[in-house]
């Protein structure tokens, strides 16, 4: 029985989807004006695991992840780069897809873009205006009237009068209440604009998610996710917009992931202390990044450091070594109570709000068992390895072939390696240990590690 921590109620709740067997989930994606950084990776991987796990439990999952392709930062960046908005956003959507692929992310069922949902956005704003949840200012902006929505603050558990509004940022004097937020921004000359009954402009940031999510998933849907920094005001505003417009409950389970930190500080664009995914990929594979991310709980903060990534790599390597050393990977024909216990435990810990660190510990225990069976019972080893890989797939891990993980090389390099290994074998036959060790060291300096096993010498990349 799956239990999910719901930010709305601030407690773990048993998960029951609205429609049995089906899950509708919306995850806030990114604004495409720059490369994705490790913080985006944490969010994307965390919810990728959620989707994978739900599917593994037999749910039919509709997974929506939006792309914000129009907003102030995009406009600014396009101007700064002297390129069109379309060129800029297309470029970074392409980059995002590359990053996503490297991380092994499943492609969302739908990836709606704000600019493609203008009619739905306009319709929702109109509904809000009609019910006087919104007002138009003299300058042609449309604002949401926060005072009119009685549940405002229900998600972030903030009391309106306790918010220090305007402490850090100037308040627009056209607002009735400083907390009111923009639904539609009137266009200044030269800015991209769409026609609306109340004047040309573009949507505010929050409205697109309310419009797209309800359009793609229904006016009430199961799970809405995103980074913890989106909880307020973004998700709070989404609730206000959607529930005022539809007069129905918006989302049933709200999930928020913790941040990546660096030097005890949040990694963020505004602080400028971020590493892009592609930067980190130069040194570590996407699978290592994934392991690094899920080795801590999705709601915790995660400290970014080279050392931690290194440890993730070593842990992952251990699992791949286990798969490499097993002769065959085939499903066990007979039921094994001992094996079933591990499977049960894996599902149990994942059922507890997606406890991936503990799930990984189960995988490592399985790996130990496989290694142990390897010398005593090959059939069992094959069967347990099968399960190890199957469970790992739910986390998006161990999807490569071990040879791929360890032995990638160009044909020329492979030839050199094979040649050196042959020379070393000869030296060993002649018991010229010094010569043999020298060759081994030479290969090691090339990043190639040798292992002598059962009369054979195998190599792998260190």
Partner RNA sequence: GGCGGGGUGGCAGAGUGGCCAUGCAGCGGAUUGCAAAUCCGUGUACGCCGGUUCGAUUCCGACCUCCGCCUCCA
What is the footprint of RNA within residues 264-293 (CB under 7 A)? 264-270
Window 147-166: residues binding RNA (CB under 7 A): 156-159, 162-166
* Distance from C-alpha of 186 to C-alpha of 184, rounded to nearest angstrom: 6
Surface-to-core class of residue 428, CB atoms within 10 Å of its CB (0-12 exposed, 13-18 middle, 19+ buried): middle
Draw the binding track, 199-218, toward RNA (x: CB under 7 A; -: no contact).
------x-------------
Closest CB 458 distance from RNA, rounded Å = 8
Closest CB 393 distance from RNA, rounded Å = 18
Closest CB 327 distance from RNA, rounded Å = 14
332 forms part of the interface with RNA (CB under 7 A): no
Closest CB 63 distance from RNA, rounded Å = 15
Contact 245, 217 (CB under 8 A): no
Which residues are CB-neighbours of 98 under 8 A, at least 6 positions away? 278
One of 322, 397, 421, 443 touching RNA (CB under 7 A): 322
Number of residues that bind RNA (CB under 7 A): 87
One of 25, 78, 122, 231 touching RNA (CB under 7 A): 231
Window 343-382: residues binding RNA (CB under 7 A): 352, 355, 357-358, 360-361, 364-365, 367-368, 371-372, 374-375
One of 194, 232, 275, 284 touching RNA (CB under 7 A): 232
Window 54-93: residues binding RNA (CB under 7 A): 73
Residues in the chain, overall count: 462
Reply yes or no: is the peptide bond before residue 131 cis, omega within 30 of 0: no
- How far is C-alpha 236 from the geometric centre of its chain's CA atoms? 22
185 forms part of the interface with RNA (CB under 7 A): no
Draw the binding track, 101-140, toward RNA (x: CB under 7 A; -: no contact).
----------------------------------------
Closest CB 69 distance from RNA, rounded Å = 12
Exposure letters 238-253 (e unless 16+ CB within 10 A, then b): bbbbbbbbbeeebbbb
Q: Which residues pair with 26 in a beta bridge?
A: 64, 224
C-beta of 101 vs 368, nearer to RNA: 368
456 forms part of the interface with RNA (CB under 7 A): no
437 forms part of the interface with RNA (CB under 7 A): yes
Which residues are CB-neighbours of 438 under 8 A, at least 6 positions away? none
* Distance from C-alpha of 97 to C-alpha of 146, rounded to nearest angstrom: 36
Residue 289 is inside which H or E element, if any? Answer: helix 286-294
* Distance from C-alpha of 286 to C-alpha of 313, rounded to nearest angstrom: 10
């Amino acid at each position: 029985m799956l239990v999910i921590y719901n930010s709305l109620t601030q407690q773990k709740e048993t998960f029951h989807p609205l429609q049995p067997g089906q899950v509708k989930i919306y995850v806030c994606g990114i604004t495409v004006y720059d490369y994705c950084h490790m913080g985006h990776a944490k969010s994307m991987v965390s919810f990728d695991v959620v989707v994978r796990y739900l599917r593994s439990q037999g749910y039919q999952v509709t997974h929506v992840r939006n792309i914000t392709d129009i907003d102030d930062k995009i406009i600014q960046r396009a101007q700064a780069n002297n390129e069109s908005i379309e060129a800029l956003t297309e470029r970074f959507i392409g980059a995002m897809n590359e990053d996503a692929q490297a991380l092994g992310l499943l492609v969302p069922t739908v990836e709606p873009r704000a600019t493609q949902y203008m009619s739905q956005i306009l319709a929702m704003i109109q509904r809000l205006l009609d019910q006087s949840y919104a007002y138009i200012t003299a300058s042609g902006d449309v604002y949401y009237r926060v005072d009119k929505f009685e549940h405002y603050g229900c998600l972030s558990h903030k009391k309106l009068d306790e918010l220090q509004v305007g402490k850090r940022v100037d308040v627009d004097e056209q607002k009735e209440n400083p907390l009111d937020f923009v639904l539609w921004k009137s266009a200044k000359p030269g800015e991209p604009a769409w026609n609306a009954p109340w004047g040309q402009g573009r949507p505010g940031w929050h409205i697109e998610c309310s419009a797209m999510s309800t359009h793609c998933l229904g006016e009430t849907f199961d799970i809405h996710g995103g980074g913890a920094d989106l909880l307020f005001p973004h998700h709070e505003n989404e609730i206000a917009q959607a529930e005022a417009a539809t007069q129905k409950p918006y989302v049933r389970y709200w999930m928020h992931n913790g941040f990546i930190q660096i030097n005890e500080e949040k990694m963020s664009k505004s602080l400028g202390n971020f590493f892009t995914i592609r930067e980190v990929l130069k040194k570590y594979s996407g699978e290592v990044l994934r392991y690094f991310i899920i080795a801590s709980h999705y709601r915790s903060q995660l400290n970014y450091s080279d050392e931690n990534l290194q440890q993730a790599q070593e842990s992952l390597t251990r699992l791949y070594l286990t798969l490499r050393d097993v002769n065959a990977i085939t499903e066990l024909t007979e039921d094994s109570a001992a094996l079933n216990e591990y499977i049960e435990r894996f599902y149990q810990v994942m059922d507890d709000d997606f406890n991936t660190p503990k799930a990984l510990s189960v995988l490592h225990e399985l790996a130990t068992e496989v290694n142990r069976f390897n010398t005593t019972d090959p059939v069992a080893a094959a069967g347990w390895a099968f399960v190890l890989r199957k469970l790992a797939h739910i986390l998006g891990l161990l999807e490569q072939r071990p040879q791929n993980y360890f032995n990638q090389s160009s044909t020329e390099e492979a030839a050199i390696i094979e040649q050196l290994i042959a020379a070393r074998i000869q030296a060993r036959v002649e018991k010229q240990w010094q010569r043999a060790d020298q060759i081994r060291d030479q290969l090691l300096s090339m990043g190639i590690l040798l292992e002598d096993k059962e009369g054979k010498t195998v190599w792998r990349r260190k």
